[in-house]
Amino acid sequence: MCPKNKRNNRRTLLLFVLCPFFALTIFSFIFFKNEKAEEHLLEIKTPDEAIADLKNGNLRFLENKSVHLNYAHEIDLTKKEQHPHTLVLTCIDSRVPPEIIFDQGIGNLFVARVAGNIEDDNILGSMEFATTIKHTKLIVVLGHNHCGAVQGAIDNVGLEHLTQLTSQIKPSINPHKTYPLSDYTIDDTSRKNVVLTIEKIIKKSATLEHQLKNKEIKIIGAYYDITNGKVAFLENNVVLK
């Protein structure tokens, strides 16, 4: 047998041996990812479990170990029902995608978005639907740094409908601010806006206040850093420093 044929035979034999191994490895990886994703699609029963799931999800996101990547599989799992454990109220900023930064699958989150993550009657109604009808356990008001809506409120930007929106952010502005504005001034206002929004939610919705007092739900604040992907959670609504 010529050397060329021997080499070809070796390659054929090697492929014959290795192909099943590679196929099994790929299958195992996909199965592991799907199994992990299914674990996180299970119903969460307490607010603290929901908080822990969000924290763990953000850690996976930061470590580039997200498990919710097989969207076709998750669509199939959730086509008949959904069990969102958390409603996230956040800004419309395109750099703040809650499902991704918390590594949550399809069916895990209700997401309400409005510039400056402020509340209004429609947002409150959505929250009441989530907690009362769908038994969502957690509400998160998620702010972020370098927020354009907050900067617009500080700069008194006025437009036809934007003016009334930024007016809801203005109570969070430090009246002793100095110019030129620093990133800290804008971000400090954003943090305070998260806390103020939570206070308004509780004050304006007797339904949510009742559920909160009965410990059926929790309402917490969080703050996303768009420069590094990390979410910081507010403890007892204390303004983050």
How many domains does one find in the chain?
Answer: 1
19 within domain boundaries = no
20 within domain boundaries = no
12 within domain boundaries = no
113 within domain boundaries = yes
Distance CA 111, CA 141 (A): 10
Binding-site positions: 91, 93, 144, 147
74 within domain boundaries = yes
89 within domain boundaries = yes
Which residue has better confidence, 22 or 196?
196
pLDDT tens digits along 202-238: 999 999 999 999 999 999 999 999 999 999 999 765 4
Helix axes 121-128, 206-213, angle to 10 degrees: 40
Tell me which of 79-88, 150-159, 206-215 is least confident. 150-159
For residues 21-29, give the mean pLDDT. 44
- The pLDDT of residue 6 is 55
Percent of the chain with pLDDT over 90: 71
Binding-site positions for Zn(2+): 91, 93, 144, 147
75 within domain boundaries = yes
- Residue 188 sits in a domain of what CATH number? 3.40.1050.10
Q: Which domain holds residue 197?
A: 42-233
Rounded to two decimals, the pTM is 0.81
DSSP assignment of the chain equals --HHHHHHHHHHHHHHHHHHHHHHHHHHHHHHHHHHHHHHHSPP-SHHHHHHHHHHHHHHHHTT------HHHHHHHHSS-----EEEEE---TT--HHHHTT--TTSEEEEE-TTS---HHHHHHHHIIIIIS---EEEEEEESS-HHHHHHHTT---TTHHHHHHTTGGGS-TT--SSPPHHHHHHHHHHHHHHHHHHHHHH-HHHHHHHHTTS-EEEEEEE-TTT--EEEPSTTPPP-
30 within domain boundaries = no
